[in-house]
Every structure is written in C-alpha cells, then in structure tokens.
Amino acid sequence: MDESVDLPVALTSAPFTSEEAAELGVTRGQLRHAEVISLSRGILAFATGDVPLVLLTRPYTQVTGYSAASHATAFCIWGFPGFLPQGEAPRIHISRQAPHDEPRRLGVVGHTTKFRDDEVTCLDGLWITTRVRTWLDCARRMTVEELVVVAGHLLRIPRPEFEGRSEPYTTPQGLLSMLERHKGTPGIQKARQALALARVGSDSAPETRLRLAMDRAGLPEPLVSAPVKLMHGKSRTPDAQFLEYCVAVQYDGATHSEAEQVGSDIRRQEDFEEVGWLEVRIGKEHMRDDAKAAIRKIRDALHRRGWRPLPK
C-alpha cells in the first residue's frame, strides 16, 4: 500500500496548479500519487473535504490568462441573495477578456467579454468580476424581481457595528454607469427595469420582495427605512411606512422569535400606538403565494386609515 504523499502544507488545503507545485519543489512522481486528483488540465488537488468556492475557483483563473471568475460563480462567491442563475450541474464560470478565446476545459463554463480594469477585483488571490459587473452579467438568466432583490442588496446601507463597513457596495449611479458602459449586453433591458424599481433602504431580500408585491397590488409606494418621530424625542425606523396614513410595516425575520427580540418588538408596537400609528407585522408565512396574505393585512390597515385605490 502506498504511503501518504508528502506535499507542502500550502498545497493540501485547496486545489493548486502544477506550476505552483513545481515552484515548491514537488516532483512529477509525487503528483502521480493516488491521493492527488486531477480536476482539469494543469489543476490538481489533494484528496480532502469541501473547499470554499473562492479557493476552488482560483487555480482556474491562474491557468487561464486575462480571465476572472464571473456569472453564477461570482454570484455565489459574493453571497448575493435569492436566485442562483445556474440551471445546469455546478460548474465554474470564467470570463476571458476579448479578443482572447473563451476558456475551454473540464468543469468550466467559458465566456468571452470586455471588462474594464475597475470591473474586476482580487479577492483572496482570486480575480473576480466586481459585484456590480456580476449583477449585470447575470441579468440574462434572472427575472426583473430577482435583479431588484440583488440591486437592493448592493444599495443597502450597512450597519458598521455588525458588518465592519459603513458604505453600501454601490449607489444607484454606480449601477446606472455599469448599464451605460454595456448597452448591448444580453439582459440589459431587464437590468434597466430593475434599477428603476430598486430603492435604497431595504434591509433584506424579503423586504424588497414585499415592497414589489405592494407595487403589483396597486398600493401607494411606501417610504423605505425612514424614521418616524415618536413621543419624548424617540424615533423608530420601520421597514416601510405610509406617512400620510400613519401606517408602519415591519417584516419580522427569523431573529424576531428570540425572547429578547420579542420584547423589543412589543415595545416598538407600543411606541407606534402611543402616537396613533398602526403597525402591520409581516412574517414569513404571509409571504407565501405571492405575498397575498401580507398585502391583505397592509391593505386592510390602509383602508382603516382612509386610503382608497384610484379607479382604474
């Protein structure tokens, strides 16, 4: 029985290229060991468990010049919410700068494209399309609503105490500039529609989907994440609000079932009631079937405050 192959530690935790191995003094005989598997031409891996997608993808861009991880692969690496635009079996998407030929190798979906220097970035040693460029690249395979959800994620104002950043990933102008650069790209019309529907302020994908459902139902457009002045100098910031009708809408995610959060939610509702506001609380169960239950609750609250839909 063969003894375990003795590889440098740097090659045992993630896939690597044969060139990297040679630079570290690994012989061809060592690379032919049964514990070293071939993933693609010139790309090998020590037979270990799951590997983060960033590290799995990195060698594919290293052996393909003028290239970057893109499309569905970049979508996953950036942690975009919602739909993954990849119906086929999982493969790595690599885009290569034109006029170079698209990548052709086992396990890779190749693309030929034109990207500017500021449309790719280096993440943990991996060249990858930026978040905004990835959003546009995926537009062809996504619905308008799915694109709005991701746009909301990119435009969202972060909470520095939890996320370690104070600026959004981009701005509406940043998304528009990307569209203007690539006017003929597939999916551009859907991306333009999505940008028109996107709003700064939604804190999560469900909140964005709820707002879109309100729009489809013909409800007034709410203010998103705008503070409401309360008694004694306090303020609350609901997920959405109808200022004219003093109706606040709050989406309660998974954390709202925790005991401490339940108490906070009760205090928030009491604060709104004290100044004459109605608070409509929406949960995951209300979002099923195109959010019909959520829309019913919000419409009922607006009716109680005098809102009536305009005649068609």
Question: Measured between alpha carbons, how far is residue 2 from residues 10, 15, 22, 179 in Å?
Answer: 22, 22, 22, 56
Helix (H) or strand (E) holding 94: strand 92-97
Are residues 216 and 183 part of one domain?
Answer: no
Mean pLDDT for the stretch of residues 44-63: 88
234: its two tokens: 């306090």
Are residues 232 and 189 part of one domain?
Answer: no
Mean pLDDT for the stretch of residues 6-28: 91
Mean pLDDT for the stretch of residues 79-88: 74
Give residue 1's pLDDT band: very low, low, confident or very high (50, 70, 90). very low
Say yes or no to pLDDT of 211 above 70: yes
Nearest-angstrom CA–CA distance, 31 and 234: 66
Instruction: Tell me the residue range of the domain where 299 lies.
Output: 205-304
Are residues 255 and 292 part of one domain?
Answer: yes
Q: Write the CATH number for 275.
A: 3.40.960.10
Prediction pTM value: 0.89
For 103-154, how does the pLDDT look when each residue is reduced to its tens digit (9 = 90+)? 998 889 999 999 999 999 999 999 999 999 999 999 999 999 999 999 999 9
- Name the DSSP class of 160: H
> Would you list the DSSP string of 5-36?
P---GGGTSS-EEHHHHHHTT--HHHHTSTTE
Say yes or no to pLDDT of 86 above 50: yes
State the residue for tokens 């037979």: 47
202: its two tokens: 């939604």
**Backbone phi, psi, residue 203, to 5°:** -95, -10
Are residues 260 and 234 part of one domain?
Answer: yes
Are residues 300 and 224 part of one domain?
Answer: yes
Are residues 187 and 209 part of one domain?
Answer: no
Within a domain: 105: no
Are residues 300 and 209 part of one domain?
Answer: yes
Residue 4: per-residue pLDDT: 72
Nearest-angstrom CA–CA distance, 49 and 46: 9
Which amino acid makes up residue 152?
G
Name the average pLDDT for the chain: 91
229: its two tokens: 């002045």
Contacts of 95-103 spanning 24+ positions with Cβ under 8 A: 95/67, 95/68, 95/69, 95/70, 95/71, 95/129, 95/137, 96/64, 96/65, 96/66, 96/67, 97/66, 97/67, 100/65, 100/66, 103/60, 103/64, 103/67
Residue 150: per-residue pLDDT: 97
Say yes or no to pLDDT of 292 above 80: yes
- Name the DSSP class of 158: P
Contacts of 44 (CB under 8 A, 6+ apart): 15, 16, 17, 18, 21, 31, 36, 37, 38
Say yes or no to pLDDT of 224 above 80: yes
Q: What percent of the chain has pLDDT over 70?
A: 94
Residue 260: per-residue pLDDT: 62
Give residue 254's pLDDT band: very low, low, confident or very high (50, 70, 90). low
Within a domain: 75: no
Are residues 218 and 291 part of one domain?
Answer: yes
Say yes or no to pLDDT of 284 above 90: yes
Are residues 280 and 216 part of one domain?
Answer: yes
Within a domain: 81: no
Within a domain: 97: no
Give residue 89's pLDDT band: very low, low, confident or very high (50, 70, 90). low
Say yes or no to pLDDT of 45 above 70: yes
Within a domain: 102: no
User: How many domains is the chain partitioned into structurally?
Assistant: 3
**Are 16 and 59 contacting, i.e. CB atoms less than 8 angstroms apart?**
yes
Are residues 209 and 192 part of one domain?
Answer: no
Are residues 228 and 176 part of one domain?
Answer: no
Within a domain: 176: yes
Say yes or no to pLDDT of 194 above 50: yes
Within a domain: 113: no
Contacts of 79 (CB under 8 A, 6+ apart): none
Mean pLDDT for the stretch of residues 293-312: 93
Q: SS3 of 70, please?
A: coil
Nearest-angstrom CA–CA distance, 65 and 95: 10
Q: What percent of the chain has pLDDT over 90?
A: 73
Within a domain: 147: yes
**Are 148 and 133 contacting, i.e. CB atoms less than 8 angstroms apart?**
no
For 236-250, how does the pLDDT look when each residue is reduced to its tens digit (9 = 90+)? 999 999 999 999 999
